[in-house]
Amino acid sequence: MTVAALDFQILRAFVLAAREGNVSRAAERLHLTQPAVSLQLKRLSEETGLQLFTRTPHGLALTADGAALLPQAERVLSAVGDLQQAARNLQGTVRGALRIGTILDPEFTRLGMFLRELVESAPQIETELRHGMSGTVLAQVLRGELDVGFHLDADGSDAATPAPLAARTLTRFTYRVVAPAGWGPQVLGRDWKALAALPWLATPPESAHHRLLEKVFGPLGLSPRRVALVDQEASMLDLLKSGVGLSLLRDSIAIRESQSHGLVMADRVQLDCALRFVSLAARRNEPVIASAWNALARAWN
């Protein structure tokens, strides 16, 4: 007998007949007629060249050869069952690549929690993280170069989301104007016009800092005095501590640094902002991207 000739239905008939000791009961279990099961047992005996059963007054009894073959047949059927279950599981598995645009620090965006939820719910998805500035991430999502991403909205209202995007506001927070230690007299009690005359740490147009300050200074016809261009938050904080100029910091960082390093927070001005998660609306229900949205919801709920 060759493996190709082996019919798994015949093996099922053999195993059930051996367990039941009766062709009729085996036929009932298989939803077949008794002659059909008897024919399958006969065929297996012919293909193996072995006598597998003897007839008794009570039904069937395994021969020594049949008893030796039974555990092998049971293992084959068990393996087939495992294969079928694995195939069914894979049919519902989401797989593919997910390109994620990240910004700021992972703790603030709950990036670790988001990725943990994604890995647990869709382990076949391969993730690629690309860190950048908020405006760069948004542009790459719009161009299809990223699948999903985090974005800082300087407007702070849901209505400001561009039409091609699906977006969820994760949290709202405040940016504070922060000055080096000892600059209290220059910044405390000062409005935007007075602050514009002081030296500022500038950021690229793609950054949320740039957009926020343009929103304030543009309508006033003011242009802050820029002494350095910085594209990383860590570098900005270091320059602040070194006394180079003013900058924006998230309120939680501003409070921490004012307490630990004596940085001065302007007390008359602040800017509201929103952290959002975005993807193209047209791709929102693609399996990989939908899995990302679901994982994000669990991480932020």
Give the span between the Cα atoms of 24 and 38, in whole angstroms.
Answer: 9
DSSP 48-67: HT---EEEETTEEEE-HHHH
Give the span between the Cα atoms of 108 and 208, in whole angstroms.
Answer: 15
pLDDT of residue 189 exceeding 80, the answer is yes
Question: What pLDDT band is residue 3 in, cutting at 50, 70 and 90?
Answer: very low
Average pLDDT of span 70-74 = 91
Report all structural domains of the chain as residue ranges with CATH numbers, in order of start: 8-90 (1.10.10.10), 94-170+276-300 (3.40.190.10), 173-272 (3.40.190.10)
pLDDT for the residue numbered 85: 74
pLDDT for the residue numbered 4: 37
pLDDT of residue 7 exceeding 80, the answer is no
Question: What pLDDT band is residue 161 in, cutting at 50, 70 and 90?
Answer: low
The answer to whether residues 256 and 240 touch, using CB atoms and an 8 Å cutoff, is no
pLDDT for the residue numbered 8: 82
Give the span between the Cα atoms of 284 and 158, in whole angstroms.
Answer: 17
**Residue 140: C-alpha distances to residues 129, 147, 262, 280 (Å):** 13, 9, 38, 10
Percent with pLDDT over 70 in the chain: 93
Give every CB contact of residue 38 below 8 A, 6+ residues apart in sequence.
Answer: 23
User: 130-143: per-residue pLDDT in tens?
Assistant: 999 999 999 999 99
User: 79-122: per-residue pLDDT in tens?
Assistant: 888 777 776 666 667 889 999 999 999 999 999 999 999 999 99
- The least confident of 160-174, 176-190, 226-240 is 160-174
The H or E element spanning position 151 is: strand 148-153
At 99, the amino acid letter reads R
Question: What pLDDT band is residue 5 in, cutting at 50, 70 and 90?
Answer: very low
pLDDT of residue 241 exceeding 90, the answer is yes
Q: Is the dihedral of CA 142, 273, 240, 205 positive or negative?
A: positive
Task: Label residue 145 exposed, middle or buried (CB < 10 Å: 0-12, 13-18, 19+).
Answer: middle
Percent with pLDDT over 90 in the chain: 75
